[in-house]
Structure 1
Amino acid sequence: GKGTKTRTVTLTRERIRLEDRAVKMSVKTVGKEKVGVLDIPGFYVGLTDDVKVQLQKLEKQNVSSVIIDLRSNGGGALTEAVSLSGLFIPAGPIVQVRDNNGKVREDSDTDGQVFYKGPLVVLV
């Protein structure tokens, strides 16, 4: 406003570390069982392929079940969320999206393939 001083402020943007956003895999021992844990902090482009690689690693470690941890997930690409969900179901609707005109679109998994068929827990 009138009579105020202009100040110049310099902001320095920090580098975004992509490895902090990538899926992280670990194996926990519960009793005599080995449980695979996939921590997914966001739905980034390429997530589904990364999860496939991690699931293959878990299979080689003979885990009895898998936990997908979405509790720290900040969102991201809906296409990746749909694609990821498709790894665990043969086919069917995954999500409905309503646009600002009220039109509803349904995104489904249609490939008929299941990448992981064992016991699965999703933490949200």
Structure 2
Amino acid sequence: MFSSGFDFYERAGIVCRSIPYGKAATYGQIALLCGKPGNARQVGYALNKGRLGEDIPAHRVVNSKGILSGAAAFDTFDMQKMLLQGEGVKVERTEDGWKIDLKKYGWKTTLEDAKRFRQIFEEKGI
């Protein structure tokens, strides 16, 4: 089945809306759950450009090291940090930037989660 970039954005929106309160996912994790491993940059682009639709908890998406790297997509440089802290996520200042502990606050997805998303995508034809 042919899959357009818009299908990827729709998939990524579904996955992002599923990130639990008080947890964070990585760009790569979202791409993987969308069936496109290696497309982490496309997730970042889509979040930055608002391509994933409404009500996306973009503040819950961080890079693979737990660094808050999406500041450009928010109204203020520290909004992502404040939103995460508001959900009880501890954010620490490091030489690389603001960082969360992915072992503690990372969204632990399973093979069952991946299968559930795949079923949702198939039902939606995306």
Q: TM-score higher than 0.5 here?
A: no
TM-score (norm. length: structure 1): 0.29
- Of structures 1 and 2, the larger Rg is shown by 1
User: Greater helix percent: which structure?
Assistant: 2
User: Greater strand percent: which structure?
Assistant: 1
